[in-house]
Amino acid sequence: MCLAVPMRLETRDELSGIAEIDGVRREVSLMLVPEAQAGDWVLVHAGYAIGTVDEAEAQETLALLRQAAELSELP
Amino acid sequence: MITAQQLADPAAVRGLLGHIDAIARRLPRRVTFMEVCGTHTNAIAAAGLRRLLPPQIRLISGPGCPVCVTPVGYLDRAEALARRDDVTICTFGDLLRVPSSHGSLEQARARGADVRVVYSPRDAVAVARAAPQRTVVFLGVGFETTVPTVAAALLEAERDGVANFLVLSGHKTMPGPLRALAGDDDVAVDGFICPGHVSVITGSRAFSFLPEEFGTPAVVAGFTPTDVLRGVLALARQLVDGRAELENLYGRVVSPEGNLTAQALVARTFAPADATWRGLGAIPGSGLELRQEFAARDAARLEVPLPEPEEPAGCRCGDVLKGLIDPTDCPLFAAACTPEAPVGACMVSAEGACAAWYRHERSPGAAQ
Amino acid sequence: MTRRPDTVLLAHGGGGRLTRELVRSTFLPAFRNPALETLTDAAILEPLPAGRLALTTDAFVVDPLEFPGGDLGRLAVCGTVNDLAVAGARPVALTAAFILEEGLETALLDRLVASAARAAAAAAVPIVAGDTKVVPRGKGDGIFAVTAGLGVVPTGRDLGDHRIVPGDVILVSGPIAAHGGTIVACRHGLAGGGLESDCAPLNGLVEHLLGSGVEVHAMHDPTRGGVATTCNEVAERCNARLVLEATAIPVQPAVTAVCELLGLDPLYLACEGRLLAWVAADHAPRALQVLREHPLGREAACIGRVETAAAGGSVVLRTAYGVERPLDLLSGSEVPRIC
């Protein structure tokens, strides 16, 4: 019961903001992540941001996956 | 930022499978890893990951589907409330087709009940706002990922004076059943894949009792194919190395302490209570009920006639949820119990182990 | 001269003066054609071209009534035209009956009717007969449309599932699930990203494809229940195994995003302006080329093939990782979920 999608927070006001992924937009509540700023990536579940996505960790994961992909190309 | 495509990259998946194959050869025997999140169950089934793993690694689904573990008593109460003329039921789509003693909410709607599917608890507050003369009951099911959203919606209703927004809490929390499973001698699980989004709220620390108290390896993993496979790989490595640790592999959204704001909102609105888990029985302190000060919003206080709850005969959902049997071992599977005519909740919810198995794992003529 | 009422009244369905006014002021001007304008009990048509007759009927219910890319009016016309077109029939005439709920805004009715007229003009098919009834407030979802479509299958043309054989290739004319995805997005506060219904009349595309001489065995439009449901129906009728390639199925990024957010599978969401074609294997590359020449087929793709079934019909999806999994009929329609 964890369907949550990372979306980019475009704009925000006090308690909610507009989040976007692939051009699709929805109003999301920021009551659970009040510190999120416009431009942050947030994880959205049931119309609420429940956390922010850490850019550095995301890059680390990307690097790990690239390594794994390279391994798969070895004979 | 990392994209969904990158996280599903077939080359990365192949590479991870190569690592898993290599480490699996060093395992002393066949091992069983359990995931405990309905979203994991469906993601694994949709990508066909189970069949890609080497035979030494068996991946099973535990009690991670909130719909499947919701007892019939809750569903009966929801259905009875739906039949009241003054009540509008708002529910996540997941519950719409789950059978109660008197049929599902979808069937109740067909008979004239006002039942609406919402994507967000906020949408239910909006329904209440727009119809002050109706009593709007939101069916609160879901684990720690979802509870904060319901708490926030309730507090928003409080703040704005939307008095007709009520919640029927069927919420449950994760550590309880995991403890029960880890401590159950019948259940032989060698490693746990812990729910990634529950962990966003609770923090990865919430699951450290698994290695610390039970010596069982555990990982926190996300839901994309590469996330799941990284989880399997890490568990296999722990076993080969003789380690038992909690590894957080979903650091891009999960921290050790979790979302403190969300935890505080939940603490303000809900209090731990004993709860019954369909198939597992009563687990103390594993449920959540509305705090006393919100009694006026507690739909459980509304008077409705209730039938004696019955567990359907022959149903082995409980054993499936504990990972003791595969869905195909249940005598009712794909015979008396199908997605069109489900007997137990494991078949109704698309994420239920049996429904997911039926949709994705039954393979007439599928390649090996 | 009385001012037109702002909303539909029960009396508009009574058959008297108000009904006549409604027909003359709303439907007649929009659907203007000789057969309709006689306003008698039945439309009398000119003799039909040679060939077998095709007749279809459809009912249309949609919420919301207006959505990005279309509305109930457009949907009703395109849906009926497309049923004829995928059967290989050239549409000749349509009928349209509307059941209106008391209280429906006449301005909204005007827009829906005008949209239906535009769609009919785009398909070059007249709406020759119609009817209107009004039901009391609360007894109808604004407006329901029921249509019939008459067409002619030219002599010598024979399309249908009976012609599908193992080895046939399955083509789709463009990205899937745009209609269903747009509707569900509207209902749950999602918008943007170019999300709009794919609702369109396919008779032009069909004639272009069939006119090229490519060997097409059968066609279907994957409406309610989406591509997966349509393929399951074909598999059952043909006792064949259909294999779809996950990575080959075109889906717009915005539609994928909506599905991810709401927990839906695009393979089960409706398309209202796409066709699936079962084509002889060696004709497939040429068929793809021909489809892509047409504005409605620019993103046509090959999405799977037909194999002999061991026992009974089935549909499987080959995932990005090379594993096959069953793609069954759903027990109910897809609903947004959180799990």
Q: Domain containing A58 — which CATH number?
A: 2.30.30.140
Which residues fall within 8 angstroms of residue C52, CB to CB, at 6 or more apart?
C152, C153, C155
Asked if the model's pLDDT at residue C38 lies above 80, the reply is no
Nearest neighbour of C260 by CB, restricted to A5, A25, A47 = A5
Choice between A52 and B43, residue whose per-residue pLDDT is larger: A52
At C246-299, the pLDDT tens digits run: 999 999 999 999 999 999 999 999 999 999 999 999 999 999 999 999 999 999
Chains that touch A (3 or more CB pairs under 8 A): B, C
B22 located within any domain: no
What's the domain count of chain B? 1
Q: How much is the pLDDT for B99?
A: 82
Nearest CA among C111, C318, A51 for reference residue B51: C318
List all residues of chain C from 42 to 101 with a beta carbon under 8 Å from chain B: none
Q: Which domain holds residue B63?
A: 35-358
Asked if the model's pLDDT at residue B345 lies above 80, the reply is no
At B91-109, the pLDDT tens digits run: 999 899 888 888 889 999 9
What stretches of C107-239 adopt beta strand conformation (E)?
127-135, 143-154, 169-172, 191-192, 216-220
What's the domain count of chain A? 1
Q: Which domain holds residue A20?
A: 5-73
Q: How much is the pLDDT for B224?
A: 96
Cβ separation C321–B106 shorter than 8 A: no
Which residues fall within 8 angstroms of residue B27, CB to CB, at 6 or more apart?
B56, B57, B236, B239, B240
Q: Do domains C10-154 and C161-326 have the same CATH topology?
A: no
Lowest mean pLDDT among B58-72, C114-128, C153-167: B58-72
- The architecture in CATH of the region C161-326 reads Alpha-Beta Complex (3.90)
Burial environment of residue B10 by CB neighbours within 10 A (0 to 12, 13 to 18, 19 or more): middle
Nearest CA among B39, B136, B44 for reference residue B94: B39
Do B322 and B181 touch, CB atoms closer than 8 A? Answer: yes
Choice between B347 and C102, residue whose per-residue pLDDT is larger: C102
Residue with tokens 């789709």: C172
Spell out which chain A residues touch chain C, with contact meaning CB-CB distance below 8 angstroms. 1-3, 5, 20-27, 44-47
At A36-52, the pLDDT tens digits run: 999 999 999 999 999 99
Residues of A in contact with B92 (CB under 8 A): 46
What letter does residue C12 receive in the DSSP assignment? G
Nearest CA among B232, B280, B247 for reference residue B56: B232
Q: For residue B349, name the pLDDT band (cuts at 50, 70, 90).
A: low
* Minimal C-alpha gap between A38 and chain B (Å): 15
Q: Domain containing B151 — which CATH number?
A: 3.40.50.11740
ipTM of model:
0.96
Return the structure tokens found at B242.
């003789």
Nearest neighbour of C256 by CB, restricted to A22, A25, A44 = A22
As a whole number, mean pLDDT of residues B1-17 equals: 95
Find, in chain A, the residue whose alpha carbon is nearest to that of B149. A48
User: How do the domains of chain C map onto residue ranges?
Assistant: 10-154, 161-326
CB distance from B196 to chain A under 8 Å? Answer: yes
Find, in chain A, the residue whose alpha carbon is nearest to that of C186. A26
B282 located within any domain: yes
B234 located within any domain: yes
Residue with tokens 């915005």: C254
Q: Is the pTM of this model over 0.90?
A: yes
Homologous superfamily of the C10-154 domain (CATH) = PurM-like, N-terminal domain (3.30.1330.10)
Q: How much is the pLDDT for B59?
A: 93
d(CA C205, CA C221): 12
Backbone dihedral region for residue C156 (phi beyond 0: left; psi -120 to 50: alpha; all else: beta): left
